[in-house]
Structure formats: structure tokens, C-alpha cells
Amino acid sequence: MEFNSIACLQMTINYMSGKKNDMFMERYGFSSSLNPWDNIPCSGNARIHLDSFLSVFNISGLREEYYHNNLLSKGEDDFVDGAVIAAARTLPTWSEGDIPPIPSIERKAARELQEECHQILAEFPTTSDQDKQILDSNPQASRTLEASIKYRLHRKLFIEKVIQALELYQDRILSGGDVAWPRPRRRGRAIAVRIIFVILLSNLYGKERMEDRAIEKGFMKERMSSTVRCWRLPSFKPLERLYPM
């Protein structure tokens, strides 16, 4: 008996690879309220702290590869979906070195973004509930009309989910008053690695040369103090022997 391997092959299309709903509607005739690549055109000056927003919703990865890290969640967390991932990508954010966010300023920024989202919703002639009623009351509607209403509905559901995410963001991390919280640990580890890296290279190739090179690359702002140079590292000679004070 011959086995036809060609008959077992399948071809699929990755619809959700970095494309927005308007492209899906134009090319394929459908949309999704959970599209992680959709966006909101925010025109104001309000911005929220990127690392804090990602930390609240346990979002990991690079910007183009954001995903919900279930291992960081305590218990079941079904709030985070494609719309929240899209919010992390599309909302105006800021992140400046080791400067921590100030809760009162973050609350104000989150509320301003919520207000801008409400203004976008107000520009539609109908609400999301009204769109659902239109779809339910017209089961015989043409495919084009149904797809158009769903596209409008999905856009509203996405914006409403962003508003909910901003509200939850304030509740989870901004309710502690004007006390700045630490940034995620991954940035602290990165800074520590940079310091150790510079010390090791300084030990091997010469203090002044490597410190000047590190300053040029932005790893350091100024040369190390005498205290740092006196650190003893495993498998390396004490630095004070190489650089007597």
C-alpha cells in the first residue's frame, strides 16, 4: 500500500503576525478584539512607567515578543489577554535609567490616558452594547454588514479593555501613596553585571584604558572610586596590587 505524504500536508496562514485589525478587515474580512498588535492613537502628553506596567501584568520578553508569564502569576490570572499585550505596546510610556516612578504622577497619567480612551469611544455613533444588540437582532444580515459591525465592536471592546487595564494598574501598584517603589530586579542585575564586567576588564587590561572605554560606551559616568578598585575577585589578583593608592 502506497502512502501519499502530500495528502497529509497542510498550509496555514499566520494572521496575527504583527498586523492590525484594519489590515485584517481589508484583506480577510474579519477582526479580533484580542489582537496583540492593535493600537490606540494617543495624542496627549501623558505617559506611564513601562517597567511598572509590565510588572503589574507579568508581561515578559522584548517589545516585539511580549507574552504573559504565567510563572510569575499568583493563582489564576485570566485578565491578561491580547488586548493587554497590545496596551503594553501602544500606550505612551517612559523609562529613564534608574529613575523610579512617583505614584501620584503615575495616577494622573493613567487617568489622562483613560480619559483619552473615553473620548475615542464617544466618537462612535453607537456603544459596544448597542452593536451587540444589532448583531443579535439581525441574524440574516449580509456578511459584509456583519463583518463591519463586528469590526466596530471589536475596536470598542479593545479600547474598553485598555481602560480596565489602566484602572487595574492604578489599583495594584499605585495605591500606596507617594512612595516610590523599586524597579524590577532584572535592571538591577544588569547594572551589577556591568560593574563586575568593567572591574574584570580593568584588572586584565589596565585601569585607565578600560575605564575610559567604559565611559565612552555609556557603561560608566565617571572613573571608579578607590573603594571599588580594592574589591577582591575570585581567581584574580587583588586590584590594589595592580593599582596602589
Q: Dump pLDDT digits (tens) for 79-131.
A: 999 999 999 999 999 988 777 788 889 999 999 999 999 999 999 999 999 99
Longest dimension (CA), the chain: 87
Fold of 21-175: set domain protein methyltransferase, domain 2 (3.90.1420)
Instruction: Please give the Cα distance from 90 to 240 (Å, whole number).
Output: 50
Cell triple for 156: 470598542
B/e letters for 82-119, b = 16+ CB within 10 Å, e = fewer, are bbbbbbbebbbbeeeeeeebebeebbebbebbbebbee
Other beta carbons less than 10 A from residue 122's beta carbon: 8
Q: Is the dihedral of CA 70, 74, 78, 82 positive or negative?
A: negative
Domain boundaries, the chain: 21-175
* pTM over the 0.85 mark: no
Percent of the chain with pLDDT over 70: 62
Averaged pLDDT for residues 139-160: 94
Least confident of 54-68, 138-152, 178-192, 204-218: 178-192
The amino acid at residue 155 is R
Residues 124, 152: contact at Cβ < 8 Å?
yes
Which H helix or E strand runs over 226? helix 226-229
Answer yes or no: is pLDDT of 201 > 50: yes
Which string of DSSP letters, residue by residue, matches 90-153? HS-EE--TTPPPPHHHHHHHHHHHHHHHHHHHHTSSS-HHHHHHHHHH-TT--HHHHHHHHHHH
| Cα separation, 104 vs 84, whole angstroms | 23
* Per-residue pLDDT tens digits for 227-241: 444 343 444 444 444
